[in-house]
Each structure stands twice: as structure tokens, then as C-alpha cells.
Amino acid sequence: MNYKNLSEMVQSSSLLSQVVGAEKLFLSGRRKRGEDLESAVRFFLEFLHGFESFEFEGPCVTIFGSARFQERHRYYELARELGRALAMSGYA
């Protein structure tokens, strides 16, 4: 496969047909500067809305993990114990 640019490669990809909405617009390639600014503002407002939905008082913690381990795996059980201990300590 010989592509002239990234846009051509992405548009010829069968994965693009599975992408919808803002992601499809983003992956379709470069647009006018004003359109890029409008998209950036829209993404920021979506982020802000999501951030406001998590507004609550008290201590909180975020743990990023993976679902690669089976439920009986030592690391899976340790993660559950950690979550339980944090919840019992008042963390959201």
C-alpha cells in the first residue's frame, strides 16, 4: 500500500467506517483553522461538562487498571482489596 498522506490512509481504512461523530471528523484530516478552533472549543466544553459532573466534597482517588487478569489472579484480588480499603477510609 502506497499512500500519499495520512488522510488518504485513514480514509481508505475499513476502520474509518466504524468511527462515528467527532472522531470521524477528526480522523478525516486537516480542515480550516476556524473549524479546528471550533472543534477545540467543543472538546473543551465536553471535558468541562464531564469534570463538573464529578463535583463532590471529600477525598477522592482514581485508579487506572486493566481487565487482563482473571478474577482469581493475585493482582486482581489485591486491586479489589485496595478499592475496598479506600472506600472504607472515606475515599470516593
2-61 pLDDT tens trace: 556 556 655 555 655 666 676 777 777 777 888 888 888 988 998 888 888 777 777 888
What is the Cα gyration radius of the chain? Answer: 21
Q: How far apart are CA 59 and CA 37, in angstroms?
A: 35
Among the ranges 1-5, 62-66, 67-71, which has the highest mean pLDDT value? 67-71
Residue 63 CB contacts under 8 Å (≥ 6 apart), including other chains:
79, 82, 83
Mean pLDDT (whole number) for 56-78: 82
Instruction: Spell out the domain ranges in the chain.
Output: 6-53, 56-92
CB 79 within 8 A of CB 61: no
Burial class (CB in 10 A: 0-12, 13-18, 19+), 64: exposed
* pLDDT at residue 13, as a whole number: 56
